[in-house]
Amino acid sequence: MVDVATLGTFAVAAIASLFMAWSIGAGSSGSTPFAPAVGANAISVMRAGFIVGILGFAGAVLQGANVSEAVGAELIGGVTLSPVAATIGLTIAAILVAFGVFTGYPIATAFTVTGAVIGVGLAMGGDPAWAKYTEIAALWILTPFIGGGIAYAIARTLRVEPLPEQFLILALAAIVGALVANIEFAVLGPPDAGASIALELAGWLPVSQLPGVVAVTVTIAALWALALWFDLRGGIERAERHFLLVLGGLVAFSAGGSQVGLAIGPLLPLSGDVGLPMIALLVGGGFGLLVGSWTGAPRMIKAISQDYSSLGPRRSIAALIPSFIIAQTAVLFGIPVSFNEIIVSSIIGSGYAADTGGGVSASKMGYTVLAWVLSLALSLGVGYAGYATVSAIL
């Protein structure tokens, strides 16, 4: 039987978690996936916010476990977050992210949540998890170079005159299809573990596992290319916009799988006390993302799509492909990552592929990077001080 005090403290922490989920939905996960598509006039701002909310909810439920477990248990060692610590950390991070939403500057959600959780954990007497910090720092530092570099290379390739553009688009569609075939889903595979579509279907083939996965992957990649080839018969511009919308959907799904962990991760140590399974937390966090996307995302979609770069369909495709790759890598390894950093880096890379630099605002980017660094330092310091102050009072 769960006592009233335990339920009360969990309820307070859950409210802070929902506020965090709303802030994320209104900010990074709700605005960044379809920002390039809006910038390319492939979809309206309001329709983008509606679709990204649904896809983000699906991604949260189907792919959110890895990052949630990392945020809840792997950022600090030696201690388990208490209800007070979880509430303080989530509230601090949510306020900072919400500030970014209402001011128009994309605050990196992963930076704020990671900093706040580490801050309150250290204040509780926990030990730094240096191995995990190394993984996180490596991804954060490499993201601008990898994402921007791949986006630049794709955008430049699409501008090469001797190569038929439709063949390049078909090749990109095949690559994306191969990636989709090999990302993990919680509903596939054994209990408490995920599996990819390729791995699941390979089990039905009369061959060993590796050749089966390769065969399924090649088949799915070919089907993606074939579908786009039929669409190309209606015009290359039309097909590119459709491909762009599919990519936006994939990134939105990946955003839900990654970002929900930032909202519900700190609740995991508390969920066992009230008997809530992981799936219940994922559904609740996904719902918060959905509401945030529907109510607050349009402002940030406009800020990212129009203020950072004037993109057409080709450069938008170039921006979304590396975004999808990096997001799924983070989900696979359970690393909290900022979608603002991923998308903005990719947009800059694809924007600079144009002769004019793609309309990228250097001053806007300078302020954004400064906001990311300050959000990490501020959330860590305030998290530590906040928990120490509340503990002294209580």
Give the pLDDT confidence of 117-146 residue by residue, as tens digits: 999 999 999 899 999 999 999 998 899 899
CA 243 to chain centre: 20
Which tops the pLDDT comparison, 341 or 302?
341
Q: Please identify which residue in the block is written with the tokens 């990636």.
A: 179
Please tell me the chain's helix, strand, coil percentages from 3-state DSSP, rounded to the nearest 5. Answer: 80, 0, 20
DSSP code for 126: P
pLDDT of residue 180: 94
Say if residue 356's pLDDT is above 70: no
Say if residue 2's pLDDT is above 80: no
Q: Distance (Å, rounded) from C-alpha 330 to C-alpha 173? A: 22
Domain with 45, as residue range(s), is 4-393
Confidence (pTM): 0.86
Q: Distance (Å, rounded) from C-alpha 236 to C-alpha 7? A: 57
User: Looking at 149-153, 225-229, 311-315, which range is the least confident one?
Assistant: 311-315
**Dihedral sign of CA atoms 378, 384, 386, 387 in order:** positive
Q: Distance (Å, rounded) from C-alpha 238 to C-alpha 232? A: 7
Q: What is the rounded end-to-end Cα distance, in angstroms, of the chain? A: 26
SS3 state at 196: strand
Say if residue 305's pLDDT is above 70: no
- Give, in degrees to the nearest 5, the angle at Cα 304 between 298 and 307: 115
Cβ–Cβ < 8 Å for 23, 108: no
- Give, in degrees to the nearest 5, the angle at Cα 204 between 225 and 66: 75
Q: Distance (Å, rounded) from C-alpha 15 to C-alpha 23? A: 12
Q: Please identify which residue in the block is written with the tokens 């390729």.
A: 198
Burial 278-315 (b: 16+ CB within 10 A, else e): beebbbbbbbbbbbbbbebbbbbbbbbbebbbbbbbbb
pLDDT of residue 391: 84
DSSP code for 261: H
Q: Distance (Å, rounded) from C-alpha 259 to C-alpha 286? A: 9
Number of structural domains, the chain? 1
Which uninterrupted H or E stretch holds 168? helix 165-181
pLDDT of residue 161: 64
Q: Distance (Å, rounded) from C-alpha 147 to C-alpha 248? A: 15
pLDDT 10s digits, 260-276? 998 898 888 776 666 67
Say if residue 218's pLDDT is above 90: yes
Structure tokens at 82: 């208490």
The overall average pLDDT reported for the chain is 83
Say if residue 4's pLDDT is above 50: yes
How many Cβ atoms sit within 10 Å of the Cβ of residue 34? 36
Q: Distance (Å, rounded) from C-alpha 48 to C-alpha 36? A: 11
pLDDT of residue 207: 80
Q: What percent of the chain has pLDDT over 70?
A: 86
Confidence of residue 328 (pLDDT cuts 50, 70, 90): very high
pLDDT of residue 308: 45
Q: Which residues pair with 127 in a beta bridge?
A: 77
User: Looking at 13-22, 24-33, 50-59, which range is the least confident one?
Assistant: 24-33
Q: Distance (Å, rounded) from C-alpha 379 to C-alpha 10? A: 22
Q: Which whole number is the average pLDDT over 309-315?
A: 69
Q: Which amino acid is at 43?
A: I
